[in-house]
Structure 1
Amino acid sequence: MLVRDIMTSTPVTAKLSSSIAEAASLMLDNRISGLPVVDDEGSLVGIVSEGDFLRRGELDTERRRSCVLEFLTSPGKLADEYVRAHGRKVEEVMTSPVTTISPQQPIADAVKLMERGDIKRLPVIEDDQLIGIVARSDLLRALSKILTAKSSPNDDAQIQAAIQTEFAKHSWSSNGFISVAVKDGVAELSGTIFDERERLAAKVAAENIPGVKSVDDQLTWIDPYYGVAMPLP
């Protein structure tokens, strides 16, 4: 799945000259937590989010330090914090430069960028133009759509084969001897495992196969240290 498949097109934006009051109203009215900031030509120049409004003089939440820490902090950093706490325009409080992504990139790339930068939204750029934005909520929406999509019915043999194929993809399933048999949509897991965490992984793998109605867990946990079967948790 690509970024263009899940992104929000024509996102709501703020201008460099917009006031922070206008930006805050836009976010509240549209129920969004961040806005791409564009210049008069429509080029992306920054992003402003709820986080940029946390430390504000009006809220009496601006950062305060002890005299010692303030002495040790550079004047430039103190000045920058003052602007962010008291600036009246978006250009004074926005984050710039901005991490962006292409619509042709897989959503896995978007997730990596979000995790690496601890960010919640990525402007989508094509031919130097802002064409959309992908946020964590877009990923959640895509996941929900996939999970609730109706799956085509499969017979027991197809379901069983699909579970076995899924098991074969993962190293954790080869640590023991997990077998599966499917009857009337019920997947029975049997055999042995040597790590109790493999039990839940096997159940999740089976539950995610279309057509599985329930999972009957008959797996036996063998303690690798003692070499004996352990009771079910």
Structure 2
Amino acid sequence: MLVRDFMTARPVYVSPDTSIKHAIQLMLDHNVSGLPVIGDDDHVVGMLTESDLLSRSVFNAGRQSPPDNPDNAFFENYIRTHGTTVSDCMTREVISVSPQQSLADVAALARTHGIKRLPVLQSGKLVGIISRRDILRAITADRDAVANGDLALRLAVSTRLRSELGLAPDQLAVEVRDSVVEVSGPAPSPALKRAIQVVAESVAGVAGICFRPGC
């Protein structure tokens, strides 16, 4: 599954000089947790996220006194927590993906960097947004479209067992009767039995699974 198949095309975005208040209202209106920031050259220059906004001083109690010898780091942090435009508090190091990347790549990046939404870039230009919710939507859609009939179901299940669990036909016998998968062979361990169930249940059209003897 590729990013291009599940991304949100033509996403809402803001410019660096958009006011924080307007950006927040856009996020609320469109029910999104972040917005890409597009510069004058139509390239992505940052991301404005919920975390960026929650780090602002307006959401934090108390006011810190300046150090005796304030440096540039202090001034930059002050701008980030008190600024009024998107450019003041956006995240500038943007992690992006291309439309041709797999959803597995997106999931790994989201998990590693703790982010919810990634801009999708083509030739440096924004063409979409892919989010954790899009990945979850893809999971629910990931069911094989198989032909009707027990023979087609048997082929689909056997193929999945071989490709995903490494179980060859001579290790496990699979039959399908009235859309119910019947598995026979050496008694599987509890973990293997559950893995076989997961594979079979992921094939569209399967009505159930049983293990012989015991069906």
Query: Per the shorter chain, which TM-score range?
Result: 0.7 to 0.9
CA contact (8 A) 1:173 1:202 kept: no
Deviations 1:13-64 (A, max 9, x none): 1111112111110100111110001123322100001111222322225898
Of 168, 173, 183, which aligns to 2:177?
183
2:206 maps to a residue whose letter is V
Percent of matched pairs sharing the same residue: 36
Aligned to 2:149: 155
Query: Matched residue of 2:173: which SS?
Result: strand
Aligned to 2:26: 26
1:217 deviation in Å?
Answer: 3.6
Normalising by structure 2, report the TM-score: 0.82
CA contact (8 A) 1:193 1:219 kept: no
CA contact (8 A) 1:103 1:124 kept: yes
Distance in 1 (CA, whole Å) between partners of 2:56 and 2:139 is 36
Distance in 2 (CA, whole Å) between partners of 1:57 and 1:219 is 66
Distance in 2 (CA, whole Å) between partners of 1:62 and 1:216 is 63
CA RMSD of aligned residues (A): 3.1
2:25 maps to a residue whose letter is S
Instruction: Report which structure shows greater RCO (CA 8 Å, sep ≥6).
Output: 2
Distance in 1 (CA, whole Å) between partners of 2:213 and 2:93 is 53
CA contact (8 A) 2:184 2:212 kept: yes
Distance in 2 (CA, whole Å) between partners of 1:11 and 1:208 is 32
1:201 deviation in Å?
Answer: 0.4
Residues matched between the structures, number: 210
Residues 1:192 and 2:186 aligned together: yes
Residues 125, 170 of structure 1: CA spacing in aligned structure 2 closer, same or farther, 3 A cutoff?
closer
Normalising by structure 1, report the TM-score: 0.76
CA contact (8 A) 2:14 2:35 kept: yes
Distance in 1 (CA, whole Å) between partners of 2:134 and 2:71 is 40
Aligned to 2:7: 7
Of 103, 109, 124, which aligns to 2:105?
109
1:145 deviation in Å?
Answer: 3.8
**Please, which runs of 5 or more residues in structure 1 have no aligned partner?**
65-69, 221-233
Structure ranking higher in strand proportion: 1
Residues 1:137 and 2:133 aligned together: yes
Distance in 2 (CA, whole Å) between partners of 1:162 and 1:62 is 62
**Please, which runs of 5 or more residues in structure 2 have no aligned partner?**
none
